[in-house]
């Protein structure tokens, strides 16, 4: 049976077809995570095949190949007239594959990579469509060299308002020492600095927060490294909460079983490393926990919105314990997408930081910075002029109002601003750090003599 697109999906299809009719050869389709992109892709592929064409469908991960094949089969698309492969396999078979009349690229925010460009050059005269929820690159590079035109679907807020995405509550604070984080040449944080940061996150606090905000919910936990993901899964298990770890190196059969157990509810907590981001669908997952700090808006959107797949009656919970929301705002923040290169702004996630937000110091919900009353718990919030006048060009390190653990003034400072043992000890006590943290900070300052 074929899937009839929702009206907003059909509108996106019509926009793309109109753009092609105007003479554009490569069109970028932008639609939020969870908006049913696979239905749009399948409908476009079905129309192309019915007209006698051959569709080349490109994905960047092999896990997504079988998923789209199943979608095409369910939509009664003749797979004999499609080629569905990873980008790497396509590149290695150029000249051997059937020549397509249409190329569809999934998760096309990757499309500036050399492998993609090689394929596009080989099929230079073929019409192309690309799909993404986030046409954004850490480098600030735009997509105008790859696409002639861009068409957009509805906003996240519209999808929530019309029951196509689940509404959500977001809780956020930085539970680690973010002075440990250092950027690499790619613009995101280095693996070593994320290791150092992760060591400052108190595992018990992760469990405690989950029990308070999401107890019993099917939850995906995002981590930056295998060792950390395994430790977090173990901490949940030690607390009597069934949890499991999976990553790209987990043997396929074992990984399939883990995913099946998670979908069936045998496992409540799925800890992973960059595995359950693109193309993974568990509609009844109603909570995500973010433990991976990132400067990538793409990663943040994909991970934070994973719990927002619509199920009647579901209200999602997003727990951001690494402060990513401070850079990028909430998932429903309006975004101004463009094909052109964007001007990068230091420390606030480029031009996609969203309106000012803060955390309620009583319940830790992420709320508009100017809120007088927390819309989640009803607590009164004192709004200071400083909180309203956020400097958008200032570095993230200067934004201090997001420190919900501020039992005293010392916690509003950065560790690098603390230059005495007394201040460091007071800070460590307020944050719950181990005594060794103070020694490490003193040693960095040459104050251990």
Instruction: List, for residues 219-257, the tens digit of each pLDDT value.
Output: 999 999 999 999 999 999 999 999 999 988 889 899 889
Q: What is the CA radius of gyration of the chain?
A: 23
Question: At residue 446, does pLDDT exceed 70?
Answer: yes
Question: At residue 432, does pLDDT exceed 70?
Answer: no
**What is the topology classification, in CATH, of domain 167-333?**
Rossmann fold (3.40.50)
Q: How confident is the model at residue 161 (pLDDT cuts 50, 70, 90)?
A: very high
Quick one: what percent of the chain has pLDDT higher than 90? 63
Enumerate the β-bridge partners of residue 316. Answer: 168
Q: Residue 152 is inside which H or E element, if any?
A: strand 149-152
Q: What is the pLDDT at residue 368? A: 87
Contact present, 307 and 221 (Cβ < 8 Å): no
Paired tokens of 282? 């568990």
Crossing angle of helices 7-21/37-50, nearest 10°?
Answer: 50
Contact present, 226 and 200 (Cβ < 8 Å): no
Q: Where are the domains of the chain?
A: 7-154, 167-333, 405-449
When pLDDT is averaged across residues 29-44 and rounded to a whole number, the result is: 94
Q: Which of 164-168, 184-188, 317-321 has the lowest mean pLDDT?
A: 184-188
Alpha-helical (H) ranges within 175-292 are 191-198, 203-214, 226-238, 252-264
When pLDDT is averaged across residues 425-440 and rounded to a whole number, the result is: 72
Q: What is the pLDDT at residue 238? A: 95
Domains 7-154 and 167-333 in one fold: yes
**What is the topology classification, in CATH, of domain 7-154?**
Rossmann fold (3.40.50)
> How far apart are alpha carbons 367 and 358 in whole angstroms?
6
* Triad 272, 278, 284: Cα angle to 5°: 70
Q: How confident is the model at residue 398 (pLDDT cuts 50, 70, 90)?
A: very low
Contact present, 438 and 424 (Cβ < 8 Å): yes
Question: At residue 445, does pLDDT exceed 50?
Answer: yes
> How far apart are alpha carbons 346 and 153 in whole angstroms?
29
Question: At residue 203, does pLDDT exceed 90?
Answer: no
Q: How confident is the model at residue 384 (pLDDT cuts 50, 70, 90)?
A: low
Enumerate the β-bridge partners of residue 397. Answer: none
Q: Strand pairing of 269-273 and 243-246?
A: parallel
Q: What is the pLDDT at residue 344? A: 58
Q: How confident is the model at residue 57 (pLDDT cuts 50, 70, 90)?
A: very high
Q: What is the pLDDT at residue 199? A: 92
Q: Mean pLDDT for the chain? A: 86
Question: At residue 392, does pLDDT exceed 90?
Answer: no
Enumerate the β-bridge partners of residue 167. Answer: 315
Q: How confident is the model at residue 2 (pLDDT cuts 50, 70, 90)?
A: low
Question: At residue 349, does pLDDT exceed 60?
Answer: no
Spatial CA neighbour of 388 closest among 358, 364, 416: 358
Q: Residue 55 is inside which H or E element, if any?
A: strand 55-59
Q: What is the pLDDT at residue 393? A: 34
Q: CA end-to-end span of the chain, whole Å?
A: 75
Question: At residue 447, does pLDDT exceed 90?
Answer: no
- Rounded to two decimals, what is the model's pTM? 0.81
Q: Which of 97-111, 266-280, 338-352 has the highest mean pLDDT?
A: 97-111
Q: What is the pLDDT at residue 421? A: 80
The pLDDT tens digits for 403-430 are 333 334 454 456 766 777 877 777 777 6
Q: Which of 25-29, 144-148, 403-407 has the lowest mean pLDDT?
A: 403-407
Would you state the torsion angle of the CA atoms of residues 369, 388, 159, 172, taken in this order, to the nearest 10 degrees?
-30
Quick one: what percent of the chain has pLDDT higher than 70? 86
Spell out the long-range contacts of 412-420 with Cβ–Cβ below 8 A and sequence spacing 24 or more. Answer: 414/179, 415/177, 415/179, 415/441, 416/179, 419/445, 419/447
CA distances from 164 to 22, 229, 270, 312, 318 (A): 31, 31, 24, 10, 18
When pLDDT is averaged across residues 357-370 and rounded to a whole number, the result is: 88
Q: What is the pLDDT at residue 404? A: 34
Higher-confidence position of 139 and 120: 120
Q: What is the pLDDT at residue 241? A: 95
């Amino acid at each position: 049976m074929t899937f009839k697109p929702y009206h907003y999906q059909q509108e996106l299809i019509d926009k793309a077809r109109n753009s092609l009719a105007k003479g554009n050869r490569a069109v970028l389709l932008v639609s939020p995570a969870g908006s049913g992109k696979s239905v749009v892709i399948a409908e476009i592929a079905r129309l192309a095949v019915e007209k006698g064409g051959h569709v080349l469908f490109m994905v960047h991960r092999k896990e997504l190949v079988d998923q789209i094949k199943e979608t095409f089969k369910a939509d009664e698309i003749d797979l004999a007239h499609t080629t569905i492969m990873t980008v790497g396999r396509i590149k290695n078979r150029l000249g051997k594959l059937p020549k397509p009349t249409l190329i569809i690229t999934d998760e096309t925010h990757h499309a500036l990579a050399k492998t993609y460009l090689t394929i596009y050059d080989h099929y230079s005269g073929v019409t192309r469509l690309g799909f993404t929820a986030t046409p954004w690159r850490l480098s600030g590079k735009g997509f105008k060299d790859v696409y002639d035109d861009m068409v957009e679907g509805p906003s996240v807020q519209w999808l929530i308002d019309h029951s196509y995405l689940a509404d959500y509550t977001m809780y956020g604070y930085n539970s680690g020492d973010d002075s440990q984080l250092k950027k690499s040449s790619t613009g995101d944080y280095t693996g070593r600095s994320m290791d150092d940061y992760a060591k400052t996150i108190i595992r018990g606090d992760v469990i405690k927060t989950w029990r308070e905000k999401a107890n019993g919910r099917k939850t995906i936990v995002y981590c930056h490294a295998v060792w950390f993901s395994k430790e977090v899964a173990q901490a949940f298990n030690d607390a009597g909460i069934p949890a499991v770890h999976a990553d790209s190196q987990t043997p396929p059969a074992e990984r399939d079983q883990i995913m099946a157990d998670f979908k069936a509810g045998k496992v409540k907590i799925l800890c992973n490393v960059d595995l359950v981001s693109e193309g993974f669908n568990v509609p009844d997952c109603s909570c995500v926990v973010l433990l991976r700090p990132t400067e990538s808006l793409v990663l943040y959107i994909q991970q934070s919105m994973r719990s927002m797949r619509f199920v009647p009656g579901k209200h999602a919970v997003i727990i951001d314990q690494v402060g990513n929301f401070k850079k990028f705002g909430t998932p429903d923040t309006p975004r101004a997408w463009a094909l052109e290169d964007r001007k990068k702004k230091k420390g606030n996630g480029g031009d996609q930081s969203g309106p000012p937000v803060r955390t309620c110091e009583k319940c830790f919900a992420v709320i508009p910075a100017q809120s007088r009353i927390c819309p989640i718990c009803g607590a009164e919030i004192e709004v200071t002029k400083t909180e309203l006048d956020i400097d958008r060009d200032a570095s993230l390190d200067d934004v201090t109002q997001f420190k919900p653990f501020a039992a005293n003034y010392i916690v509003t400072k950065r560790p690098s601003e603390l230059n005495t043992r007394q201040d460091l000890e007071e800070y460590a006590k307020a944050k719950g750090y181990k005594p060794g943290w103070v020694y490490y900070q003193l040693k960095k300052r040459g104050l251990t003599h």
